[in-house]
Amino acid sequence: MKIKITADSTCDLDRKTIEKYDIGILPLYVVRDGASFRDGVDITPKDIFDYVENGGGLVSTAAINSADYVDYFYDLSKEYDAVIHIDISSDFSSCFQNASLAAEGLENVYAIDSRNLSSGSGHIVVEAAKMAQNGAEPQEIVSAMNALTEKVEASFVIDKLDYLCRGGRCSAVAAFGANVLHLRPCIEVRDGKMSVGKKYRGSMEKVAEQYVKERLDGRTDIDTDRVFITHSPCDQSIVDAVKKAVKKYGSFDEIIETDAGCTVSTHCGPNTIGILFKRK
């Protein structure tokens, strides 16, 4: 059976993985100065950060609309026996709802709510693609992925709260206080929703090892086949510190570095970095 796995651009997978599994990517929109740009196609996180640093205003993201999904799914449904699409958590965006509406009129198209974001969703996408390559039936893949969503752990450490403040997700006073005290909050995804976890203190390089150690050290419930290190445009020293800590405290078969797309970057800002993995 010929099955196509697709996802929205928030899955933040690297090009090598996308090509390896022939994954279709449909971009979200980024809105700047009233104009819409396609995530990763017409605009990049660096473009956004350059714009903001040069005095630009608020940049926001917008979901893929139902019309886009209808066009995308219709063409693929004629070419493949089945199309399975994975979206960012429905608590973060209306992408899944729009995809579900578009899929209703097509018998061989299935939409999955990853209950996650970034390469947390990426884990679901890759596992679905592996099952498809191994000859699994569409319903079998959908059922397995819906079960897997509960086992993905996604978190990020944020360097500064400026971008969360711009988006109205924290107050200017809180952002100022955190920056003065060098607090680096950890953002966690739990049950499809985002919450603030531990607040670390110190340089990002120092915080990186502490963060990774607390996520990985001494655990026996982690599926060690793959971990994503995903980050917005980031100082190389921070990326290197996270990689070193993952190798020290984890035992993953694959350590894959990926770039966070415009969705994570717009809300969290530069020097945001996280490790995303699955439990057994």
**Which pLDDT tens digit goes with each residue over 32-80?**
998 999 999 999 999 999 998 888 877 889 999 999 999 999 999 999 9
Residue 271 φ/ψ region, left for φ over 0, alpha for ψ in the -120 to 50 degree band, beta for the rest: left
Same domain? For 141 and 185 the reply is no
Q: Are 234 and 270 in contact (CB under 8 A)?
A: yes
Same domain? For 85 and 169 the reply is no
Same domain? For 129 and 217 the reply is no
Burial of 251 (0-12, 13-18, 19+ CB in 10 A): exposed
Determine the Cα–Cα distance for residues 109 and 102; give it in Å rounded to an integer: 9
Domain boundary among 91, 117, 149: 149
Q: Are strands 222-231 and 273-279 parallel, antiparallel or unpaired?
A: antiparallel
What is the predicted pLDDT for the residue at 194?
82
What is the domain count for the chain? 2
What is the predicted pLDDT for the residue at 202?
87
Confidence bin at 130 (pLDDT 50/70/90): very high
Same domain? For 135 and 160 the reply is no
How does pLDDT run across 91-109, given as a tens digit for each residue?
999 999 999 999 998 999 9
Question: Does 122 reside within a domain?
Answer: yes
Same domain? For 131 and 163 the reply is no
Same domain? For 166 and 255 the reply is yes
Question: Does 169 reside within a domain?
Answer: yes
Question: Does 53 reside within a domain?
Answer: no
Determine the Cα–Cα distance for residues 31 and 61; give it in Å rounded to an integer: 6
What residue numbers bound the domain in which 30 lies?
A: 3-48+58-149
